[in-house]
Structure 1
């Protein structure tokens, strides 16, 4: 009986299949829905933004006159280059020795345990690739730009979100004087009037949604006959129905995040950020061919499989030390064609001054110690 190759099951196809199975059991990142994947043939991609849908009347003309050419006002082309991401893992000596022990074992479960550890390591690389894409998309969604750094490299782009599409609340949601209804109406009116776009969705995290749910103005609006709003609570479904009926928007709570380099958990949507969106896709996640896809996919020098539209999984047998390396690479950049149809409200930052009592009992303004920096109000406790 010929001796089995202890690395024979560690192929790029098996790793990609393992990753795809893991993904089926997990909810996708929100950015994968808002910025769906697409492939581009080169390292650069061009996209257009700013074509307003607001109607403009047709110009009058004499019968024999030439037609007046209408400009595409605000129509702008962006050309951006995909960023290159690459990391690898290899089978260390300890795992290699364990593989040697079980390679000819009739007990398949022993081999499966070792392979599971190896595949989990490889899936960690693919998970990191997906996380990098989501960090870029969520930064872009809320600021109009992104910046991601690592290994001495910085990948950044600025798509120039309009300044008046990022605004502070009239007063911090959940504090005295707050008016979420006015803040929401301002968002709807700004995008509707300037762009001719109807907002239908709104994103926030759970802490921000709770501040909206417990806001006194919201309670007073929904419980008009109850004078003591502090003593009552609003059911979640009642608030959702009100927002749908009054504004035509459907809220979505997005609490996913990641652990940063300091070990702190960072939510993709920070506390207080409220992002208003239209119904359409906002842009794309554009994948350019990696060197592995271009040069090694049809080569015998390495084993390459493409997953997640444009992520290359490459396995290579090394002879010194004897091991097998798994490498994950991607060339990717998000586009943002619908940037002018997005409005970002900072619900935990107040645009108006004055003395305002916070839920904790402090008084804002006038140099009070309870106030935030620069005299701004502090957000309510979640």
Structure 2
């Protein structure tokens, strides 16, 4: 007869997660910052503008704090962000398991096991949210900020201030007389003049995209005879921007739930980021303590790695009889191609 320790293991949870998420659509940031792995995670490996190491802004001594912040880390240790969260099987689930495990027929206990696996898989899904929030902070601000518990960690990637602009009130894209095409042309020219690389794509939310859909100058350019009467569609605007400016638009409205349960956009409204072709950097995963110290055996803990660097650890607890599941990661993106992007706040 199988026991709870036989069925709820890191390997089984990792296999379940991989099967369930085999057709998962990747986050936008995953395609722009591919995942890579290295032993440990020294800041000297994490590159910002000009290939220089990223610096951590000064903070309090003994920088180890339990956090409830907008990035979602449960802990920050030394200079690198370390994320860890766990779950235990509740007493009710354990009693249900005891009842069904007495049967040799897996069809009786497998639905309950799958439900337990599904709960644990949400921890891994949550771990995937963390680097996407980081990548989108970089793309919309040029920095990563973790603020909570009287601690303020800012990863300074030395973003070029000349590659960032906030439009004046009269020029904001929500204003009827705004000229977004001329704005975009100016920003693209600036990047090309300074770097020799011209951005080819823009990232914005649906709200920001709608400013362009309703813009009077764009509508008039598309229909000089009666611009105000034109029925503008997403497809028409995308084709127009590609033909006029050579820019492909990614409308990124994907959301997540923060620590309070509120829905949040990964990429903020009223910001547009222009990026060149190719990778912008890498998403670097380090070696978590669980992977470094527990994976070789010799303990009651079992460790499996998914999604390049997310560690799933299961630990046997003899009293009360239980299995604790812990998901952890050390992760930070690099941004080697940062000099070739432009960030605009348009409203």
What range describes the TM-score normalised by the shorter chain of this pair? 0.7 to 0.9
Deviations 1:21-55 (A, max 9, x none): 2323332111111111111223204255544xxxx
CA distance in 2, matches of 1:314, 1:291: 11
Q: Which has the larger radius of gyration?
A: 1
Residues 206 and 254, structure 1, Cα contact 8 Å, conserved in 2: yes
Q: TM-score, normalised by structure 2?
A: 0.86
Residues 305 and 313, structure 1, Cα contact 8 Å, conserved in 2: yes
CA distance in 2, matches of 1:91, 1:297: 22
1:8 is the counterpart of 2:6: yes
Q: Which residue of 2 aligns with 1:271?
A: 269
* Structure 1: gaps of 5 or more residues: 52-74, 349-382
Q: Which residue of 2 aligns with 1:181?
A: 181
SS at match of 2:268: coil
Q: Which residue of 1 aligns with 2:85?
A: 87
More helix by percentage = 2
- TM-fit CA distance, 1:256: 0.8
Aligned pairs for 1:1-382 (under 5 A) are 3-45=1-43, 46-51=45-50, 76-78=52-54, 81-105=79-103, 107-149=105-147, 155-169=153-167, 171-226=171-226, 229-301=227-299, 302-348=301-347
CA distance in 2, matches of 1:108, 1:231: 65
The verdict on how the C-alpha distance between 1:86 and 1:261 changes in structure 2, with shifts beyond 3 A counting, is: closer
SS at match of 2:259: coil
Deviations 1:151-172 (A, max 9, x none): 7765531112122222123622
Higher relative contact order (CA 8 A, sep 6+): 2
SS at match of 2:269: coil
The verdict on how the C-alpha distance between 1:155 and 1:122 changes in structure 2, with shifts beyond 3 A counting, is: farther
Q: TM-score, normalised by structure 1?
A: 0.79
CA distance in 1, matches of 2:211, 2:335: 30
CA distance in 2, matches of 1:84, 1:178: 44
- TM-fit CA distance, 1:198: 1.4
Give the 4+ runs in structure 1 shifted more than 6 A: none
- TM-fit CA distance, 1:300: 3.4
CA distance in 2, matches of 1:11, 1:152: 37
SS at match of 2:54: strand
Residues 126 and 328, structure 1, Cα contact 8 Å, conserved in 2: yes
* Structure 2: gaps of 5 or more residues: 57-78
- Cα RMSD over matched residues? 2.0
Q: State which drifts further: 139-148 or 166-175.
A: 166-175
SS at match of 1:252: strand
Residues 147 and 153, structure 2, Cα contact 8 Å, conserved in 1: yes
Deviations 1:131-188 (A, max 9, x none): 1111111111111111235677655311121222221236222422110101111210
